[in-house]
A and B are shown apart, each in its own frame.
Chain A
Amino acid sequence: MNRYPVWKYAILLIALVVGGLFALPNLFGESPAVQVSIAKASLKLDAAAVGRVEEALKAADITAEAVTLDGTSIKARFASTDVQLKAKDAIQKALNPDANDPSFVVALNLLSRSPAWLTALHASPMFLGLDLRGGVHFMLQVDMQAALSKRAESLAGDIRTTLREKNVRHSGISRNGQTVEIRFRDAQAAEAARRIVQDQFAELSTVESTDGTDIKMVATIQPVAARKLQEQALKQNITTLHNRINELGVSEPVIQQQGLDRIVVQLPGVQDTAKAKDILGRTATLEIRMVDEGTEARSAELGTAAVPFGSERYLERNGSPIIVKKQVILTGDNLTDAQPGFDSQTQEAAVHLTLDAKGARIFRDVTRESIGKRMAILLFEKGKGEVVTAPVIRSEIGGGRVQISGRMTTVEAADTALLLRAGALAAPMEIIEERTIGPSLGAENIAKGFNSVTWGFVAVTVFMCAYYMLFGIISSVSLAFNLLLLVAVLSMLQATLTLPGMAAMALVLGMAIDANVLINERVREELRGGASPQAAIHAGYDRAWATIIDSNVTTLIAGLALLAFGSGPVRGFAVVHCLGILTSMFSGVFFSRGVVNLWYGRQKKLKNVSIGTVWRPDSQNQVATN
């Protein structure tokens, strides 16, 4: 009765082999490595690039343990962190001759030391969370209201242009919050404008009302369009963050959308957190506008009059005020490239911009129409605008190549170019959660988690073996099997392991032993009741099964709720907790029974079972000891 068919043993054997294989990479540890990936979409990593890396290392007299190319990156492994740092500099110099315009991202990383055949099986060690490996975690909130306001502003500009083209007379267009207000003197014009807006601006819905003698038309962005706009804004911001982080050189960055308006950024292994925060936190957007040169504006500049309607006051780099029209001619969206450099005539530091076709056309038209007037180039960082430069337009500028210069140092020029090149954010973002974990703390946390699991495991094993004898040993073996399976599943899924996750591992092992205690107690009880050893084993496992299912389901319900509503550390805990419960059912019941069957199942006339003392209340003697 206590025999498994061959297929059950086959399942156990397969689980053991697969579990062992996938848990194996965790034993090899990690060695320092340098990772090279591409910074520009136009480039490709191939064998030639690997050759260049190897050459660079040879030239610098550095020996790498291995240099491999895997899909998107080249990874070179080294013996120590000192060599790693030297190698990084050497590779950086060889691959990126121009530091301001890197073609490759060269980053420090840790690589598993597991042999190639394991890597070929896609068996890799568990993915450690930031609290175990050190690094920075940010959660950014995208300001969607600002994205809508910005869109309304640009729509107001578009409507103005269109109405002028169609010769519809209006008495003013302005943005009010997230709506565009257009005023008309007569109903005819309003009607014509309404038709144009309906035809050409499908995303707007209009409402007309009379305001004194004027007719006021309020155009609002429709909810569907607004939602689409928000999605696009979020996507664009994520892309922008990707570009910026590429410039930072991080080996395995995580950039994810969370909820409707949030982005999570994780930069493992980043040491210079200040720089990372600075680059990420900046929200630089470029705008080109005309300088208001009316008499009113002149006096407003001096502070003697109010700023005229439709204009705004900004400061130049040197601190002097300048009045700039609200209407935006071009934004960073039309920018395709920005490079630091020098003005060919004055040798001043400058930023060279390249505009896309639409931007180039608008720029040509504007410069042709406004020769002799001043144009302002504004840079917005965190909602604060600054006029970088406000040159006088000397001639029509075609071809979309623009140069910004004026009162910049070379470092400022490089920074500005980086920010502009990395792309404008569609909407400003704010850091609402930030976690930095130093590298030493990460290593300590691993040791703490590891010690907790190990010593807890040892204590439980010692107790079980002493109390239940052979059945205790079998229970301990199944507990070890449980740990093996859990580690294997975590490695397979590449689920993030955090310190709370390691705590969950310890806890789940403590709970998993419950199944074996239930079984062992049940077997003892059956023996106490006078059942034959074989019958007792059979009944013990059978009767305990229902209880084990019930108790695991309730624990699993709690685990799933944590998984559904938890975030950050709670999630890390919940993932391991839930997986651990599932593996414990397999190992605690199915596996341990398999071992018991293997040991006792063949013996037809089994006299006694090694399960410790079976004490009977009716006789003073112990019935079966071993």
Chain B
Amino acid sequence: MEFFKIRRDIPFMRHALVFNLVSLVTFLAAVFFLFSRGLHLSVEFTGGTLMEVSYSQPAELNAIRASVSALGINDVQVQNFGTARDVLIRMPVQKGTSSSAQSERVLATLKAGDASVTMRRTEFVGPQVGDELAADGLKALASVIVGIMLYLAIRFEWKFAVAAIIANLHDVIIILGFFAFFQWEFSLPVLAAVLAVLGYSVNESVVIFDRIRENFRRFRKMNTEQIIDSAITSTISRTIITHGCTQLMVLSMLLFGGATLHYFALALTIGILFGIYSSVFVAAAIAMWLGIQREDLIKGSVKKEGDPADPNAGATV
């Protein structure tokens, strides 16, 4: 089997401007939704109580909502979780009452309504923990960015580092944009998925950059644009197969992982799809705009006169 029977290098870079425009528009849309709608943060970040209960028959959400509100708890969210019989109840932090008291009171009330209800899990997070988690998440993001840029700058060149990070941060923003637009719940596992995607799609860009470097060495007569085109063309089959395989795994998570892993897998799916796009079309294009040259990558190709370690180098007598 061979899916990719490509005769000539595909001139990707001729359309670089179009690709970058598409990216810019999606990016701006994502930023717009992030600000206009905001993320639907989970209890872990906002603080509050979350309860998952299970009924023997499909649950009546309105009845549950009414009985919980009757306890004097405001802003309660009640929704199905996975199946019609499982219900997720979210309550904001209530002043004065402790968490344990709250979840037990709610369960007692629900039991009074329908004796078949069983508690599957509860989660309570104090407001101070939520703030810390958000801060830690940002710290993790920052250190991933700095770490990857440093590595790429050492291994390749700063222009590649900048290009890769811009391309992949734009992935992250787009994932967040999706979560904001659809108001999917943004929880800690989703954050983990987002950061994993960042590392994963950077490795995509790395594969292409690697090829660009190799091509600079091999094809001395090509110009930068041709070199990039050739690099992308020769790695495209690998890019798509690899992402396809990872997506198979993620798909399996989406199908079998249940409601808990649903948004995690969803974030990965978006990340993988946009990861292909951004590393193939965006990262290389940005590197091109930044003006990469043969001399940036092939060290020692330009011989300098004299020994740089010699203190007398360049001195004339």
Contact = CB atoms under 8 A, between A and B. Distances in A.
Interface of A: 139, 141, 274, 277-278, 281, 430-438, 440-441, 444-445, 448-449, 451-457, 459-460, 463-464, 466-467, 499-500, 503-504, 506-507, 509-511, 513-514, 517-518, 521, 525, 543, 546-547, 550-562, 564-570, 573-574, 577, 612-615, 617
B261 A511 contact: no
- Cβ-closest 3 pairs across A and B: A558-B199, A551-B203, A510-B249
B2 A615 contact: yes
Given A435-B122, A558-B195, A569-B187, 14 more contacts: A431-B98, A432-B126, A432-B129, A455-B255, A460-B245, A503-B253, A510-B249, A511-B200, A525-B234, A555-B203, A569-B192, A570-B188, A570-B191, A617-B6
A503 B264 CA distance: 9
B118 interface: yes
B52 interface: yes
Given A456-B253, A551-B207, A552-B203, A436 B121 contact: yes
B198 interface: yes
Interface of B: 1-2, 5-8, 44, 52, 98-100, 103-104, 118-126, 128-129, 133, 136-137, 139-141, 143-144, 147-148, 151-152, 155, 187-189, 191-192, 195-196, 198-200, 202-204, 206-207, 210, 214, 234-235, 237-238, 241-242, 244-253, 255-258, 260-261, 264-265, 268
Given A433-B124, A436-B119, A455-B252, A557 B210 contact: no
B98 A561 contact: no
B142 to A, nearest CB: 8
Contacts of A562: 140, 192, 195-196
Contacts of B144: 557-558, 561
B186 to A, nearest CB: 13
Contacts of B242: 513-514, 517-518
B241 A612 contact: no
Contact of B252 (A459, A577, A613): A459
Contacts of A448: 256-258, 260-261
Contacts of B257: 448-449, 451-452, 503
A454 B255 CA distance: 12
A550 B210 contact: yes
Contacts, number: 242
Nearest to A581: B199
26 contacts: A431-B124, A432-B125, A434-B100, A435-B123, A436-B123, A448-B257, A448-B260, A451-B257, A452-B253, A456-B253, A464-B245, A467-B241, A510-B249, A514-B203, A517-B242, A550-B210, A554-B152, A554-B203, A558-B144, A561-B195, A562-B196, A566-B192, A568-B44, A569-B192, A612-B2, A617-B8
Given A434-B122, A503-B257, A574-B192, A564 B238 contact: no
A151 to B, nearest CB: 24
Nearest to A137: B123
A141 B127 CA distance: 12
Given A565-B140, A613-B2, A141 B241 contact: no
B238 A521 contact: yes
